[in-house]
Chains A and B, each alone.
Chain A
């Protein structure tokens, strides 16, 4: 068949038009892609997160011993033929069989003990922290990435996705790390706050939040689902895919996404995690109950007395993490991973600490009662009951040990039997903060035990405030530190008050008092340290130290130095040289709540355990 010239011309023209059109489309596409890439690059540049990288140096000293509980496990991964657990007491390395190989603490360079999450990325173990941003660990050494433009608070979750590490934070948004740089990922130019959980499925990334539902990101498009879309709660704790359907666990129940709206499958308050293994969805509550969901929810196992429990999948196994360490979940059974160490602190939150007359160490915790350890480090007793829970202060009283608690004043005898003085016995409040001799400081005034009776002083009698935090007896004079200033009490009457309006005290909230020889030191919440001079004048140390917060009753002196527990480490005042130092590195946490000492050692109770330090560590030269 021969084609006429006209037809050939037509075909050529058509081909030319088509080619032009294809070229145009290609050009437009190229241009669009370039624009998109430019826009992405611009956004990345715009959202770049500046950071500092610090190599952390181990802080090993024979003079320091860290006492911590590592049973509260927040995350657990397989890394370099070992398992690693992020705990509230540092990082723990286990053999595949469960043998504890090593416990990494602040002495090994960790900037803090409260570790929140783990992920393996580019051959390194990345570790989220409560307040020190992100750590990278190569098996021996730690590096610290600190974002310098934001206060991220806690790093809550880590996820490796598409060759990048996604980092969820409480207040610093969602951040991605490509191994070199950090950039914030925003949803339609809005920071995603309070990230609680990260999950990926194919090209989709799911970002669960603490109080704002679920964000879904796919192909540069964001969608946002909250309780308005049927979620049982806005706090997302887990995501599972089963039969191509999306299941979302919130802290109030499990929901299934159907046609852009959620349907609640089960109402389960305090639901804490959801994982998909094979065709099964496994869920757990914070209290340790494990459920499986097929067509309905069924409880299959439980770890009794658990808190903060959650399930994870690591090393091809299902693990239950809780405040009772790690257990392997085997269908309907839970098998503890490794041996439990019995001679550890019950809780790392150490709010009070003292020695009894037998040199046993009494450790009071914020919520979990009291541990008693022998001088050799063996746990003698754990005391916990309805009235022995929240310990504010401990002191030896001859044969007995007295505890100021939120359930009154408790007097422990040598056989650990107790007498409890409460509101029923005449205390103005059960919230006892401190005591000294017959005087008891409470949140509602100062009480005095007189034989069988209890009398009290309040603002009616001239106390600056009814919230009394600390008291100190000095001969016939009693000093009471309150929320509204310091009171000097003589013969049961308020003789004088010291406040910002009538003295050099710049902060009225007096939290701690300490007498060293003839000197009386006043610790305040936010104003730092003051001294009450024999002349009745109040001297401020602000020009030397700046302002700082002294935690309630966190002052101790060994005669040579004054040790002051603050929200930002330890302040140390050398009574001979009058010099000041601030020490942080050896502490399990920066918040020092309690201090005591004996002839050789000083003990610092923090929110993440205890540091036992030889006195000679504080001699010039060795300490930081």
Chain B
């Protein structure tokens, strides 16, 4: 009521009266939509007031943010505590948004309601469905996190938070885990603080603590973190502790920390965990499972630091690029970016060919060509002038690439495949496609592109040929991934990795981290041990014809709770192995039960488990481009009627499209509706007449990004570095610059220059002449724009 302050207080009391029990409070406060979504305002831990859905520090501001990072042997556990202040006299509803780093997974989330901590719950999907049914009469219904998501860009996490009391505070906690890769004996950790869009968040009291523990000796590396300079409280060979404290700080940059592993020899380390096991509610259903399992966990990790002395071998590579219809759009743009990046890394000593495939395969040249600048630019022109489309005949593409690889004069034959690997023609059978590599001495380096890529197929093909596999979404920044991926090309892998122990029977349920690895990287096994006793662990591998043998003696502890992440790490490996086995051999009741048990216990999302709660419906597209004013909603099968309440006062019924299994309607945005983020409410009715409502956000973006290139001069010397300044619309997500003969370069925002900057190195041997410098911009709605400027190069 808005009559007086007293009445306001009464209203709040009435509101609180709704919360009759802790359970009800859970439902009321935890109207959480654990959804992965395209985060337009993606940044770490922002609480957006609803219904505007836009950050507004006048309404909700961040008072406290505590971040605790523990990196234990490349396994990062990040705990975040945030307290937000409500500056209004109204009880608010908010949406908490957190952008997760690429490979991380959320392991805990909790909301505080006064003195009550209300944690998120992972449960069996069927049971989650039942609970969902029981509480669906509540004001705002919860739902279920599906393993499929509506992500169109980076992974994110969001939850609806209610109530946020007038002039009160709201405390939120979350934890996520991330396994950090070791590449070239370096590890890199990033905590996202910089918003990907919109205004940066200011925090009144910011505290960050990072602790790095490693069995190997480590040294902090990389550039000094100028935005968040760490006060180092401990720096020892195997441990680093640093802290940063600030007040009233604007979070304009991500926090990052790099460290180097100081190993010059191949080394094996073993870490363990053994502590009394906690029994979950699910375990109590089965008396056999209700007993504590006293067995310990271990992780044996080898670092391959010392590479035999070798001269650089010329590369012999066939690039195989998928140009079929399924690659259309962002995937193709990223794929061409990858080809561009790789080709410009070749030297004239290298030889390459390029094969484009869809329903047919077309080669750039009949015979391999040298990796000269001219040949590289011709190859890129070949892609540009090639009309795209058609189905995907992956088998034919691979056969063609193998045929062309046989024409290399000498050296190891390598094929780089860039594709989403969704074959549609000739054969779609994995085994049939695998046969192409039988009796072929060629390695496949497969880069899977797109959220829908058949990663399993490409992973298998790469493993079979002792190649390498990596994957990226079409929307993510692939520059670093590409560098790591392409560094592997032309280098031999380390394979046939095995682990054994002196006692034989003491270790069980052991799972490797992959199929093979490379020098500069690591490889690990995670497993369990029965008895705490002295052991010798042996690790063997093959590098070409050379054998690598490592061993370590240790005493498996009776009690050691130091590396507490090990049980979850092992559980994830075990669950993955069970799911793979069921994919291969069909479902088994006992496997399903174990997957559910482990997932509940360690909070893992699988096809059999779900977080409570998530959206009943997924709204697509989240980003509405001009010409596409369509709202599409995917719901579960029980929904019989959907209406969309649009922000400009129109309510539209959605029509169910049988052929696509989605609900759809089209709307005409009024002329006064400017580009931006809008709320849309969905009204859903199921076949039993029950009603549901859900709030969704969509973004109208009707403009391609505008780009303006600023050059300090027009004439450059060959070999000179060209500093590029580019201004672009604020919703620009990605800027890439390209000049003849150079690798494409990403441009980044510079606070100092107040514009986007990047540096291109003009090739030393570039002939005199006029060249086009092009800058490609892409915004959050994937609208692209290309701008060019001409420069003159004076050759040497």
Contacts and interface: CB of A to CB of B under 8 A. Distances in A.
A154 B649 contact: yes
A578 to B, nearest CB: 28
B754 interface: no
Contact of A228 (B15, B672, B783): B15
Contacts of A279: none
A269 B786 contact: no
Most B CB atoms within 10 A — which of A229, A253, A426, A457?
A426
B270 interface: no
Nearest to A427: B325
A466 B389 contact: no
Interface in B135-179: 137, 139, 163
B643 A386 contact: no
B651 A431 contact: no
Contact of B704 (A224, A387, A428, A508): A508
B724 to A, nearest CB: 16
B1 A260 contact: yes
Contact of A194 (B137, B388, B649): B649
Contact of A269 (B163, B325, B641, B665): B641
A227 interface: yes
Contacts of A456: 325, 328, 387-389
B320 to A, nearest CB: 17
Contacts of B333: 458-460
Contacts, number: 205
A462 interface: yes
B473 to A, nearest CB: 18
Contacts of A267: 137, 690-691
A444 interface: yes
B11 A228 contact: yes
Interface stretch (A30-38, A70-78, A445-453): A445-453
B328 A458 contact: yes
Contact of B692 (A269, A467, A549): A269
A561 interface: no
Contact of B683 (A230, A270, A455): A270
Interface in A259-286: 260-261, 264, 267-270, 272, 286
Most B CB atoms within 10 A — which of A210, A433, A493?
A210
B645 A235 contact: yes
A386 B15 CA distance: 45
A426 B11 contact: no
A252 B691 contact: yes
Contacts of A501: 708, 787
A107 interface: no
B649 A210 contact: yes
B546 interface: no
Interface in A357-395: 366-367, 386-387, 389-390
A335 B784 CA distance: 55
A443 interface: yes
Given A390-B666, A426-B389, A443-B628, A461 B784 contact: no
A469 B692 CA distance: 37
Interface in B199-235: none
A467 B645 CA distance: 27
B51 interface: yes
B357 to A, nearest CB: 14
B285 interface: no
A105 to B, nearest CB: 22
A465 B329 CA distance: 11
B480 interface: no
Most B CB atoms within 10 A — which of A194, A390, A461, A483?
A483
A464 interface: yes
B643 A286 contact: yes
Interface in A478-528: 483-484, 492-493, 501, 508-509, 525
B3 A222 contact: yes
Contacts of A222: 2-3
A188 interface: yes
Contact of B783 (A225, A423, A465): A465
Interface stretch (B290-298, B572-580, B595-603, B654-662): B654-662
A228 B2 CA distance: 11
B10 interface: yes
A119 to B, nearest CB: 19
Interface in B237-267: none
B42 to A, nearest CB: 24
Contact of A483 (B2, B325, B704): B704
A540 interface: no
A223 B3 CA distance: 6
B333 to A, nearest CB: 6
B703 interface: yes
Interface string A298-320: 00000000011000000000000
A255 B17 CA distance: 17
A260 B2 CA distance: 12
A233 B694 CA distance: 11
B627 interface: yes
A247 B647 CA distance: 25
Contacts of B90: 228
Contact of B329 (A154, A308, A428, A483): A428
Contacts of B786: 459, 462, 464, 484
B653 A287 contact: yes
Interface in B327-347: 328-329, 332-333, 336
Contact of B785 (A228, A461, A462, A464): A464
B699 interface: no
Contacts of B384: 460-462
Contact of A460 (B7, B388, B628, B783): B388
A552 interface: yes
B684 interface: yes
Nearest to B665: A367
Contacts of B181: none
A259 B786 CA distance: 62
B701 to A, nearest CB: 10
A607 interface: yes
Contact of A509 (B7, B643, B703): B703
Contacts of B11: 228-229, 260
Given A224-B2, A465-B785, A444 B649 contact: no
A187 to B, nearest CB: 8
Contacts of B684: 269
Contacts of A539: none
B15 A269 contact: no
Contact of B3 (A221, A444, A466, A483): A221
B685 A465 contact: no
B630 interface: yes
Contacts of A492: 387
Nearest to A549: B671
Contacts of B651: 251, 270, 272, 286, 308
Contacts of B776: 459
Given A426-B390, A501-B787, 11 more contacts: A153-B649, A156-B649, A251-B651, A260-B14, A349-B668, A426-B391, A466-B784, A467-B628, A483-B702, A508-B704, A509-B702
Which 5 pairs show the lowest CB-CB distances between chains A and B?
A: A455-B387, A269-B683, A224-B2, A269-B691, A267-B691
10 contacts: A154-B649, A210-B649, A253-B691, A423-B325, A461-B385, A467-B626, A484-B784, A501-B708, A509-B626, A509-B703
Interface of B: 1-3, 7, 10-11, 14-15, 17-18, 51, 90-91, 137, 139, 163, 325, 328-329, 332-333, 336, 359, 383-391, 625-628, 630, 641, 643, 645, 647-649, 651, 653, 655, 657-659, 665-666, 668, 670-672, 681, 683-685, 690-693, 702-704, 708, 776, 783-787
Interface of A: 151, 153-154, 156, 170, 187-188, 194, 196, 210-211, 221-225, 227-230, 232-233, 235, 251-253, 260-261, 264, 267-270, 272, 286-287, 307-308, 349, 366-367, 386-387, 389-390, 406, 423, 426, 428, 431, 433, 443-445, 447-448, 453-462, 464-467, 469, 483-484, 492-493, 501, 508-509, 525, 549, 552, 567, 591, 607
